[in-house]
Amino acid sequence: MTETTPGLVSFDEAVTRYDPLIGLETHVELGTMSKMFCGCPTAFGAPPNSQVCPVCLGLPGSLPVTNAAAIEFTIRIGLALNCSIASWCRFARKNYFYPDMPKDFQISQYDEPLCTDGWLEVTVPADGAPPRQVRVEIERVHLEEDTGKSLHKGGATGRIHGADYSLVDYNRAGIPLVEIVTKPIAGTGELAPVAGRDYVTELRDVLRTLGVSDVRMEQGSLRCDVNVSLAPKGSGRWGTRTETKNVNSLRSVERSIRYEIERQAAELDAGHRIVQETRHFHEDTGTTTAGRSKEEAQDYRYFPEPDLVPIAPSRDWVEKLRATLPELPSARRARLQAEWQLSDLDMAALANAGALDLVAETVAAGAAPADARKWWLGELRQRANAAGTELTALGVTPAQVARVSELVASGALNDKLARQVLDSVLAGEGSPDEVVAARGLAVVSDDSALLAAVDEAIAANPDVAGVIRGGKAAAAGVLVGAVMKATRGQADATRVRELILDRLSQP
């Protein structure tokens, strides 16, 4: 592999001189019970080659039969992405030899995709400005079968070249795979990497809402190929594109686009041409390296799959599927934003923190929207950041947060106690009520118990008491602090202050 890259141009510099054009092809493994063309189960992580049969192994004489659920899932995806649904279309064979493809052809769709011409609205946050709405045009959504998985043993790269031997697991072979292809996305400028990432995020949320896939990038159930090309700023003369394959995390989508912009800018600056090729992204370095060039690209000899009858979804069925689509993320966000009366920026902050669902569930469990937001974006986010984890993985449920919020609202806990309760919940000590009971963490509201502490504090701080008696009520803070300390924070600070001022105003 020879790299001729003459160094890189910094991203900021690159986007001042070039307009980036990006496009994404996203592969989604559908969460059907059985595979695309046979009855084998689709569970992830089963022992190698334990979920196979003559059909998905492509044994001589075996024949595929289309999984109707996969067709339904694909149409639902198409509808959610505002696509037209074909009234008649066919599968096609994509022919190429590879050991992890049992038939040495893949059943896919070629010039007759099931869904075409849709769009997805994506909210892209911009530094110091209101977020931008970008409408990503969807070219097509089609259905195909996944291949098996090759493990190349030995050799440095984990790729087939240089490996000592290879193992193939056909469990994945034949799992229904949907490919969602965008049209080229122009006009995002320096936001292109973020826009790419946010498109995939939004798409993932749509797919999750539809319940058609578990959309786990780390398990490969959602995978992206990222296309990037550049044009000299304002020229509209788009250069050759590269396709970075198998970019398998949201962060990598952003990084790979960023890197390709930097790399292509440097090539163009040096007067080189961009080679049309596929490229590999390296998670460790954040860089891409050249793969197969167009000249080496294969002729897939597509032709209509003769083993399968055409797909002809009736209009009635499509309309029924449309009518039963769930509320999609964008519509839900708009509804919640209105219900919670949040600004666009506040809403974007919630979304960025991955807290939207958590807040919504906390509100649904009885908390006030403002309180729910406060807890998740405040205390809990700090703890998640400190622990280097996502909010959803923190170990506290929206219902528990709602309960803590309720205890504060009723005066049973103050904020400080509430934080202690949450810490104990996070430490696995049980529900908020269990923690409160076990640790005795209730606000002391019995005046007689507080008065003893107040008298003690006054006695211990005669100077301060004198100042207060002299009319400086603001000095009461010192005594409040002492009482709070004495009661291990369990007192209601407002009431303590009242009691101190009351005591010291007496003759």
Partner 1 sequence: MTAELTSMTAAALASAVAAGDVSATEVAQAHLDKIAAVDGQVRAFLHVSADVALAAARAVDASRAAGRPLGPLAGVPVAVKDVFTTTDMPTTCGSRILDGWLPPYESTVTRRLRAAGAVPLGKTNMDEFAMGSSTENSAFGPSRNPWDLTRVPGGSSGGSAAAVAAFEAPLATGTDTGGSIRQPAAVCGIVGTKPTYGGSSRYGVVAFASSLDTPGPLARTVLDAALMHEAMSGHDPADSTSIDAPVPPVVAAARQADVAGMRIGVVTELGGEGYQPGVLTRFGEAVELLESLGAKVVEVSCPHFAYALPAYYLIAPSECSSNLARFDGMRYGLRAGDDGTRSAEEVMSLTRGEGFGAEVKRRIILGTYALSSGYYDAYYGKAQQVRTLVIRDFDAAFEQVDVLVSPSTPTTAFRIGERADDPMAMYVADLCTIPSDLAGNAALSVPCGLAPDDGLPVGLQVMAPVLADDRMYRVAAAVEAALAGRWGHPLLAGAPDLRDGEREE
Q: Contact positions toward partner 1, by CB under 8 A? A: 54, 57-66, 93, 95, 97, 99, 102-105, 160, 166, 168, 299, 301-303, 306-309
Q: Min. distance of Cβ 145 from partner 1 in angstroms?
A: 14
CB of residue 302 vs partner 1: minimum separation in angstroms? 8
Q: How far apart, in whole angstroms, are the C-alpha atoms of residue 298 and residue 306?
A: 22
Closer to partner 1 by CB, 13 or 72: give it: 72
Structure tokens at 333: 């966000």
8 A C-beta contact, residue 260 and residue 228:
yes
Nearer to partner 1, 95 or 289 (CB): 95
Query: In whole angstroms, how close is the CB of 155 to partner 1 at the nearest point?
Result: 12
Q: Which is nearer to partner 1, 37 or 376 (CB)?
A: 37
Q: At its nearest, how many Å lie between partner 1 and the CB of residue 147?
A: 13
- One DSSP character per residue, 294-360 reads GGG------EE-TTSPPB---HHHHHHHHHTPPPPHHHHHHHHHHHHT--HHHHHHHHHTT-HHHHH
131, containing H or E segment: strand 129-145
Is the Cβ of residue 35 or residue 258 nearer to partner 1 in the bound state? 35
| SS percent in the chain: helix, strand, coil, step 5 | 40, 20, 35
Minimum CB distance to partner 1 smaller for 60 or for 507: 60
Phi, psi of 148 (to 5 degrees): -75, -175
> Least Å distance between CB 111 and partner 1?
11
Whichever of 308 and 368 has its CB closer to partner 1, that residue is 308
Tokens of 58: 């492509």
The smaller minimum CB distance to partner 1, of residues 3 and 307, is found at 307
Rounded to a whole number of angstroms, the minimum distance from the CB of residue 179 to partner 1 is: 20
Q: Are 140 and 116 in contact (CB under 8 A)?
A: yes
Rounded to a whole number of angstroms, the minimum distance from the CB of residue 300 to partner 1 is 8
Q: One-letter amino acid identity for 118?
A: G
Residue 132 bridge partners (DSSP) = 124
